[in-house]
Amino acid sequence: MAHAYTPGLRVAERTKIRKERRLPLPGEVLVKEGDAVSADQVVAKTDLPGNVQPINIANLLSLEPADIKEFMLKKEGDHIEKEEPLARSGGLFGMFKTTSKSPVAGTVESVSDVTGQVLIREAPIPVEVKAYIDGTVTKVFPNEGIAVQTTAAFVQGIFGLGGEAYGELAVACSGPDEVLSESAIEESHRGKVLVGGSFIELAALRKAIDKEVKGIIIGGFDNQDVKEILGYDLGVAITGTEDLGTTLMVTEGFGKIRMAARTFELLKSLEGKKASINGATQIRAGVIRPEVVIPLVEDEAKQDIAEKGASEGMIIGSQIRVIRHPYFGMLGEVTDLPAPLQELPTEAKVRICKVKLENGEEVLLPRANVELIEK
């Protein structure tokens, strides 16, 4: 059967998810292989070196660099508190002494009689890595981290903001067409991951942040609201580091776009279960998709699951989403994959696919204009 390789978003009712959780620097792993872990459990930790604060003692005390060690009150390796005297000049006839105080707490790392500078290293910065998903440790990377695996429902989005968060799944809209409005955000949603419909209003997102909602899964979002909520234009770099307090995952695209019915019904069927959500997105090389993982309870997880290998690509019958004008955001099914190249109005020759859209219309589209919805 004809097939074509094309990028896609996964929407899986039941699949095996494996995540590697690694430290940025060597440290201590706190769990062992076979341990059951929860999403918010710290599984590894380390300390990053503290920031270095340079202080030009020679200038501050009007000394020659070669003389500063004579006037230092602290030596290399000594601990010093903020505002504690670091060095003091001799003054005139023992009077009019000048004292230089440390602007930070830390350790005196070096005293240079060449530059006249003193370097103070601030306290180490603790770094903790959490499991992110409820599951079982399947591998330990000594001094680095772990691999954790679970059986879960899994949904990828097209765009997201904010980092990893965890909470109980709650449906806030009655259907995939409904707009998630400010009035729909309630006090009972505090600490939960909300499932919306086709669009979320900026006021609703602000209220969700105020109510400490952990995450929101929505069909569409206004791209102009991204700047409003962040306070700056979003560049091409990876998202996921934004300190919003509420992680946002958009499943369809920018604008008011109905969430795919299959996605909405899957999430609705899992209401009340614990979900892990991550808004990290990168659309350049090394694509990263925002995602939500809903671990299944033990009896569900024991059901047979076919291991998912490499994607076979787009075939006749594949479910797709159109990602370019004029059918942007529409869903459909591939009905044919003609082999010959076809010429576009731009005179470019490309491979195309024949698609039956959800409204019943059949259209011919460049394969680059569609995205596979993987099961």
Residue 111 lies in a domain: yes
Residue 137 lies in a domain: no
The pair of three-digit structure tokens given for residue 23, joined into one six-digit string: 């430290």
pLDDT at 285: 62
The pair of three-digit structure tokens given for residue 317, joined into one six-digit string: 């019958």
298 — phi, psi (to 5°)?
A: -55, -45
Residue 23 lies in a domain: no
pLDDT at 4: 45
pLDDT at 7: 54
Residues 310, 372 contacting (CB under 8 angstroms): no
Residue 44 lies in a domain: no
Residue 73 lies in a domain: yes
Residues 9, 372 contacting (CB under 8 angstroms): yes
CA distance 96 to 91: 5
CATH number of domain containing 97: 2.40.50
Question: pLDDT digits over 270-279, tens only?
Answer: 999 999 999 9
The pair of three-digit structure tokens given for residue 161, joined into one six-digit string: 């903001």
Domain count, the chain: 3
Using DSSP's 3-state secondary structure scheme, residue 305 falls into coil
Is there a single domain that holds both residue 208 and residue 94?
no
> Looking at this protein, which amino acid is placed at residue 205?
L
Is there a single domain that holds both residue 273 and residue 329?
no
Residue 94 lies in a domain: yes
pLDDT at 95: 60
Domain boundary among 122, 140, 172: 122
Residue 204 lies in a domain: yes
The residue range of the domain holding 214 is: 9-16+151-301
Is there a single domain that holds both residue 294 and residue 319?
no
pLDDT at 44: 97
Is there a single domain that holds both residue 117 and residue 169?
no
CA distance 214 to 168: 9
Provide the Cα torsion 221, 182, 271, 273; round to 10°: 90
Is there a single domain that holds both residue 250 and residue 170?
yes
pLDDT at 355: 95
Give residues with Cβ within 8 angstroms of 74, minimum separation 6: 80, 86, 87, 108
Residue 46 lies in a domain: no
Is there a single domain that holds both residue 219 and residue 327?
no
CA distance 133 to 155: 14
Residues of the chain with pLDDT under 70: 1-8, 91-96, 235-237, 284-286, 298-312, 374-375
Is there a single domain that holds both residue 198 and residue 80?
no
CATH number of domain containing 370: 2.30.30.30
Residue given tokens 């990168």 in the structure block: 282
Q: H helices within 190-335, ranges in order?
A: 202-210, 223-230, 261-269, 298-301
Domain boundary among 74, 107, 122: 122
Is there a single domain that holds both residue 239 and residue 319?
no
Provide the Cα torsion 234, 235, 237, 240; round to 10°: 0
Is there a single domain that holds both residue 87 and residue 195?
no
Q: Give, for 87, the enclosing helix (H) or strand (E).
A: strand 85-88
Domain boundary among 122, 142, 159: 122
CATH number of domain containing 259: 3.50.30.10
Q: Region of 106 please: left (phi>0), alpha (psi -120 to 50) or beta.
A: left
Is there a single domain that holds both residue 158 and residue 271?
yes
Is there a single domain that holds both residue 361 and residue 226?
no
Residues 61, 101 contacting (CB under 8 angstroms): no
Is there a single domain that holds both residue 279 and residue 160?
yes
Using DSSP's 3-state secondary structure scheme, residue 327 falls into coil
pLDDT at 91: 64
